[in-house]
Structure 1
Amino acid sequence: MPETQRLALLASPTERAQDAEQALRDAYDWVPFEEADAVVVLGGDGFMLQILHQMLEQGPMMPAFGLNLGTVGFLMNKYKSSRTIAERVAKARSIAVAPLRMEATTNTGEKASSWAINEVSLLRETRQTAKLEVSVNGKVRIPELACDGVLVATPAGSTAYNLSANGPILPLGSNMLALTPISPFRPRRWRGAILPETYEIVFRARESVKRPVLVVADQKEVRDVSEVRVVAEPEHRLTLLFDRGQSLEERIFAEQFMV
């Protein structure tokens, strides 16, 4: 980032983030979000995802530098005041993240679509096990997956829900997606797949009335779906900024050695 960058400041509604916003307001000559070259985001991963979704849906697209005032802060940098925020943003390393596009059809024929930066997950709505047909690039790979659910994760999201479901960690820049079952019952030995991000994945709910299924794209939920299409859209890549030595790429790599 250039030294003369124009920065916007956005803060989550939490008390910690609001207090930090007040402290930073006088530290830099901030500009409105629509006029900025980059945005500084105060909060946690959830608020960062909210801002990234806003960029995808409404624009403008710009690099985002997060300061963690939430819980995990996987997408954020440490909040500290040892250097000016402008210096940190100017010296930050950029990481590109390709989002997923989810398109769902409900049992009544309604259509819904949404972006996902971490993952798209299908989940059973009731005690009835979900039964899903899984197709990749137009070919049925699993005629009937009996499970609690299944998800498609990006490299950025591979250490989130995907990891807790025993899915693989994907390095940034791998241009791959993780297809991971959630509590699979049949076929018992299937533990998922790693697919190129250019592949299209389609899920069809079998017995969708008796065994209702919902889909969640990051924070957006659609219930009673009959079909869900998931595809990565690299042309809409987002840019996250990290302090040197603290990048998302390094965090994802380090997760593979956690014991």
Structure 2
Amino acid sequence: MLQTLHNTMNLGNMDLNIPVYGMNFGSIGFLMNTYSEDDLHARINNAKANSIHPLKMQATDENGDTHTALALNEVSLFRSSSQAAKIEIFVDGKSRISELICDGVLLATPAGSTAYNLSAHGPILPIDSPLLALTPISPFRPRRWRGAILPNSATVQFSILKPQRRPVSVVADNRQYSDVAQVTVKEDRTNKVTLLFDPGHSLEERVLNEQFKF
């Protein structure tokens, strides 16, 4: 499903905005409807639309090469060696954490806040909220920092400290780049995907239900 949504975005014309109605024929299927071929045309016609703007990531590796990618769920940074990563975090150009020692850190959209972000003990964001979740992955120091909720207008920059001794890779949904030195992420308001959901099973309802599971 995620690959289908990326293919839709890669058409390169947001005016087309082809809506996607997915049906779960696998295991989790959080962004999909219940599988059934009965009355399919009527279900699609009655479906409720939700639009999602992706994150745009720009990463510079140790060779100075630049890589860009879009992410509907999250952009994640991970340590690539036995040593913990050391990362400085800037929000809108201001250093907020001078040295985060961790296994990694991620920035998630509201749609992605119920995915890896939730597993990393990050907050679940309402699907229509103008927010992003910044969540550390197994942080060592600062010990009490558990992440932040940011406005979706924020630009977040991750600067890798000692990248040769403590290499870091970055993953934007399913695209990975190794040995990065700096990563900048912000919401891409020029791009979006539209998902269709059966009445009573909207993305808002699923996000709300997820908060009461235990």
Fold shared per TM-score above 0.5: yes
Matches within 5 A, 1:76-95: 76-83=32-39, 85-95=40-50
Residue 169 (structure 1) aligned with residue 124 (structure 2):
yes
Residue 122 (structure 1) aligned with residue 77 (structure 2):
yes
Q: How much does 1:235 deviate?
A: 2.9
Rounded to whole Å, the distance in 1 between the matches of 2:5 and 2:210 is: 23
Residue in structure 1 matched with residue 152 of structure 2 by the alignment: 197
Alignment TM-score, normalising by the size of structure 1: 0.80
Equivalent position SS for 2:133: strand
Rounded to whole Å, the distance in 2 between the matches of 1:146 and 1:139 is: 19
Q: How much does 1:57 deviate?
A: 2.0
Matches within 5 A, 1:1-259: 48-59=1-12, 61-83=17-39, 85-259=40-214
% identical equivalent positions = 53
Q: Greater helix share, 1 or 2?
A: 1
5+ residue gaps, structure 2, are none
Q: How much does 1:173 deviate?
A: 0.9
Greater RCO between the two (CA within 8 Å, min separation 6)? 2
The one-letter code matched in structure 1 to 2:60 is T
Rounded to whole Å, the distance in 2 between the matches of 1:51 and 1:175 is: 24
Give CA deviations for 1:190-220 in whole Å, capped at 9, x if unaligned. Answer: 0000000000000000000000000000000
Residue in structure 2 matched with residue 43 of structure 1 by the alignment: none
5+ residue gaps, structure 1, are 1-47
Q: How much does 1:224 deviate?
A: 0.2
The one-letter code matched in structure 2 to 1:70 is G
Equivalent position SS for 2:22: strand
Q: How much does 1:55 deviate?
A: 1.9
Equivalent position SS for 1:146: strand
Q: Which has the larger radius of gyration?
A: 1
Equivalent position SS for 1:120: strand
Alignment TM-score, normalising by the size of structure 2: 0.96
Q: How much does 1:229 deviate?
A: 0.3
Rounded to whole Å, the distance in 2 between the matches of 1:128 and 1:81 is: 50
RMSD: 0.9
The one-letter code matched in structure 2 to 1:72 is I
Q: How much does 1:151 deviate?
A: 0.1
Check the 8 A contact 2:76/2:105 in 1, yes or no.
Answer: yes
Rounded to whole Å, the distance in 1 between the matches of 2:11 and 2:179 is: 27
